[in-house]
């Protein structure tokens, strides 16, 4: 059962973080937003006595994403339930604290371009860490540049005279400039491409629908067959 509820009732934050080892492991899916309180004004939770998990998710959201995360609590519960089951049998990538990294780094009002990929790299890198970092196509400095990212660099080099190919695959600077690097699936099983497509499809589609309504001037870059499926109904901006 998902950490959102046990025996049919919503659990409190205190019950969750003091619970069994299994519950704590699943709870790490929302680690950045609940335990570490990164990028959050703590006073929003100080006024709530004995907050429930719903309180925590709706108030410790990535900055600027309150409305869309609020509207998708059911989807987040479904995702949590699925991943908690899968994590008992296999490795899930990226690290749970990186699942919502692109949301942590970039608020809706800062987005100029959205690049949509398929899913995180489904393997460990040479550094012994998950190759995926929570940003589509990006890898840590020190990792070999994956073929998909190398192809992107080659195309940019061919199309833009001033482009200089980086010697690493860390794309955090792109995000800092308003490029929202979103995968259609935010997690993946070790060695199984597209293994979490079904569980994330509604959530990420709702994100694109929300952003399309939020700003019609956003430019969309859809790379890969699965990413291009989002072109059918959701995006209003310029599409490549």
**Which residues are known to be catalytic?**
119
Alpha-carbon distance of 93 to 164, in angstroms, equals 30
Alpha-carbon distance of 59 to 45, in angstroms, equals 7
Give which of 67, 63, 49 is closest to 13, Cα–Cα. 49
* Bridge partners for 219 per DSSP: 113
Count Cβ atoms within 10 A of the Cβ of residue 83 and give its class: 0-12 exposed, 13-18 middle, 19 or more buried: buried
CB 223 within 8 A of CB 117: yes
Residue 34 has φ and ψ, to the nearest 5°, of: -115, -50
CB 83 within 8 A of CB 93: no
Q: Where are the alpha helices (DSSP H) in 53-171?
A: 53-59, 66-71, 73-86, 101-105, 147-159
């Amino acid at each position: 059962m998902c950490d959102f509820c046990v025996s049919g009732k919503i659990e409190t934050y205190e019950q969750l973080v003091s619970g069994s080892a299994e519950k704590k492991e699943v709870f790490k899916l929302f680690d950045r937003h609940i335990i570490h309180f990164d990028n959050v004004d703590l006073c929003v939770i100080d006024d709530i006595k004995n907050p429930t998990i719903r309180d925590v998710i709706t108030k410790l959201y990535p900055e600027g994403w309150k409305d869309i995360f609020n509207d998708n609590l059911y989807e987040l519960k479904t995702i949590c339930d699925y991943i908690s089951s899968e994590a008992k049998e296999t490795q899930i990538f990226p690290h749970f604290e990186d699942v919502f990294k692109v949301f942590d780094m970039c608020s809706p009002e800062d987005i100029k371009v959205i690049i949509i990929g398929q899913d995180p790299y489904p393997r460990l890198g040479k550094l012994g860490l998950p190759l995926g970092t929570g940003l589509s196509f990006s890898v840590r400095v020190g990792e070999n540049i994956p073929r998909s990212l190398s192809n992107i660099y080659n195309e940019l080099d061919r199309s833009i005279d001033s482009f200089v190919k980086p010697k690493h695959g860390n794309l955090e600077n792109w995000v800092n400039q308003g490029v929202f690097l979103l995968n259609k699936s935010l997690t993946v099983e070790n060695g199984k491409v597209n293994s979490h497509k079904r569980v994330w499809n509604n959530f990420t589609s709702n994100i694109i629908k929300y952003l399309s309504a939020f700003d019609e001037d956003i430019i969309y870059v859809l790379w890969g067959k699965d990413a291009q499926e989002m072109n059918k109904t959701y995006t209003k901006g310029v599409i490549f």
